[in-house]
Amino acid sequence: MDLDALLLSRLQFAWVIAWHILLPAFTVGLACYIATLETLWWITKREIFLRLSAFWIKIFAVSFGMGVVSGIVMPFQFGTNWSRFSDAAFNVVGALMAYEVLTAFFLEAAFLGILLFGRKLVPQWAHVVSALMVALGTLMSSFWILAVNSWMQTPRGHEVVDGRFVPLDMWAVIFTPSFPYRLTHTVVAFLVTTGFVILAVGAGYLRHGRHVDESRVMVKMSLAFLSVMVPLQVVVGDLHGLNTLEHQPAKVAAMEGLWETQRRVPASLFAIPDAEAETNHFEIAIPALGSLYLTHEWDGEVKGLKHWRKQDRPPVAIVYFAFRIMVGIGLLMLALVAYGWLQRWRGRLYTSPTFLRLAHRAMPLGFIAVLAGWTVTEVGRQPWVVYGLMRTRDAVSPTLTTGDVGLSLAGYILSYLVIFGGGFLLLRHLVRQGPRAAEAQERPDRDARPKRPLSALTDTPTAPGARKVGDAA
């Protein structure tokens, strides 16, 4: 491959979005969890829900800030690196991105301030409403961003005038054939990712005998939640696969490493796809099973990659292996949830060293699965930026040079490593402090006010009964 401006622009966008998507993959579910804790605290008055909510609010605030900083450069790149795409498609996608800012980002930004600093300044019901509005904002943000992506995957509701996409029916633009499946599949993946983070944090505390009461609640709530959401994700993923087979069959052929159109398609467990030779090496497959889960018929026909010209096929190896990583992690998640219920049946859910160790180490599983799934979605769409209508090579800015993009890519790599490295250290610090320290910060004197935005996150809480500097005076 030649390192030209097109390839470097694609690598730059991949680098930016790969880091950024880790944040909504966490904050969408975390906002919903915080809203649940706030509601439970309001209804039951149990202090443990207050401690947990205060703890996770601070983690959410750091993650939300990182998400804003890392995500704002993505639309910026549409103008710098992908100006032809912007010129052709932004009559359609520009409106959807504006809706995301107006209906989601403003909502989150407004109520997050109340959620962070308003517990002692507003009635309790208002604080609960703020948590619900922040959660709603994260879900609405997902709605609009997935609407943009779904239109690029299965474009509808437009006409092409002088090379530009002009919307005719905004309902059709938003609710494309793949949108309901893509939105549900992605949001459930985000919720599952957060569930495993909460499970891992609770299990980690229990392994070290810290914050035992809070950890038991986290483990119990997350296990119950994952027991519903992980199997649901399997069902949603199957429905999404059927939809993809209907509207993007080349992507499915790449996911399966299938070269020949055939019936009774085998399920490829492992292979090394060879795009040049148009075959798979060292393949291990189960006969006919592929047709069953792809078409729900033993004799179902699936088009092979040879049905399309070489220039119209996605990069097979990347899609093939990313899909198997995603599915493999899903199976690991199911196994861990089942093992957790086994330990609960044995009465050892909070004491089993093996389960707690596995649950603690499962924290990154959701993030890896999200990255793998996004890779399948985006790389599987290639060579199209708007599927079937506009090629990626025709979307890049014509004035870009290799040196320009190489310099900006180096800058993005350095800045993102600093942003996420610093954010990780701060998040680790908050986790080490634990829920009780977070709750102490939630109970300041009524006359106290935060001196700076991050003071609520980084200031060391004053121990109950401790005297402040100047009290003696």
Kindly give, in sequence order, each residue whose CB lies less than 8 Å from that of residue 335, ignoring residues fewer than 6 positions away. Answer: none
User: pTM for the full model?
Assistant: 0.90
Kindly give, in sequence order, each residue whose CB lies less than 8 Å from that of residue 102, ignoring residues fewer than 6 positions away. Answer: none
Position 295, amino acid: T
Residue 302 burial class via C-beta count within 10 angstroms: exposed 0-12, middle 13-18, buried 19 and up: buried
The closest alpha carbon to 207, from 335, 363, 60, 333, belongs to 363
Handedness of CA 100, 105, 110, 116 (dihedral sign): positive
Give yes or no for a contact between 258 and 265, defined as CB atoms under 8 angstroms apart: yes
| CA contacts within 13 A on the Cβ side of 114 | 17
Handedness of CA 140, 17, 377, 310 (dihedral sign): positive
Which CA distances in Å does 331 have to 120, 191, 342?
44, 17, 17
The tens-digit pLDDT sequence of the chain (473 residues) is 567 889 999 999 999 999 999 999 999 999 999 999 999 999 998 989 999 999 999 999 999 888 888 888 888 888 888 999 999 998 998 889 888 888 888 888 889 888 888 888 888 888 899 999 999 999 999 999 999 999 999 999 999 998 899 999 999 999 999 999 999 999 999 999 999 999 999 999 999 988 889 999 999 999 999 999 999 999 999 999 999 999 999 999 999 999 999 999 999 999 999 998 889 999 899 998 989 989 999 988 999 999 999 999 999 999 999 999 999 999 999 999 999 999 999 999 999 999 999 999 999 999 999 999 999 999 999 999 999 999 999 999 988 888 889 999 999 999 999 989 999 999 998 888 888 765 565 554 444 454 455 554 555 444 444 433 333 32
Give yes or no for a contact between 194 and 29, defined as CB atoms under 8 angstroms apart: yes
Phi, psi of 177 (to 5 degrees): -60, -30
The closest alpha carbon to 195, from 166, 232, 159, 169, belongs to 232
